[in-house]
Structure 1
Amino acid sequence: MSTEPDATSAPPGQLPVVTPARVLAGISLAVPVVALLWVSSYASLTPKIGGVPFFYWYQILWIPVSALFTGSAYLLLNHDAKQRKAARRPGAAQDATGGAAR
């Protein structure tokens, strides 16, 4: 048995270091990188759109798609930061459980 704390566990009243929002933000940042670095998946001339080979329009399509993934990562991390700030407030644990703050 290890005496070291788990990365997902946290002291009472605090959020863990690894949260679902942070994991989703990391995944949403990794998706465009993987999609564009995996060149063999889009290294073809067909189908063409307006005479532009697939290889080129696929990469151009990823510009706005990457912006959407990056924006969603920003929103997830921003929401996570607000939760962490609220958890650090005095009496936040009582307010979250529905108890009256005294």
Structure 2
Amino acid sequence: MKLLLLIPFLGLLWTPFYNQPLPALFGFPFFYWYQFLWVPLTSFLIWLVYRHEQRKGEQR
């Protein structure tokens, strides 16, 4: 389950993938909104891993 934390790392690791202006979203270039999208996604993934580890600890 902790491997889920690699997803944001890999998603933002290769900058040439998202270093482009299009597609724009609400006037923001892809470069910016792609990175902003990862903020809530990463928070959600951290929460999932936390809850899983917490429940795993309760079962012991």
Same fold (TM over 0.5): yes
Name the residue aligned to 1:50. Answer: 26
- Structure number with bigger Rg: 1
The answer to whether 1:83 aligns with 2:48 is no
The answer to whether 1:61 aligns with 2:37 is yes
* Separation in 2, partners of 1:62, 1:71: 14
Q: Deviations over 1:7-56 (max 9, x none)?
A: xxxxxxxxxxxxxxxxx1x1111111111112222121100012210000
Q: Give the fraction of aligned pairs with identical amino acids, expressed as a percent.
A: 35
Under a length normalisation based on structure 2, what TM-score does the superposition of the two structures give?
0.88
How many residue pairs align between the two structures? 60
CA-based RMSD: 1.0
User: Unpaired runs of 5+ in structure 1?
Assistant: 1-23, 85-102
Structure whose residues are more often helix by fraction: 2
Under a length normalisation based on structure 1, what TM-score does the superposition of the two structures give?
0.55
The answer to whether 1:32 aligns with 2:8 is yes
User: Unpaired runs of 5+ in structure 2?
Assistant: none
Which fold has the larger relative contact order, with Cα–Cα distance below 8 Å and residues 6 or more apart in sequence? Answer: 2
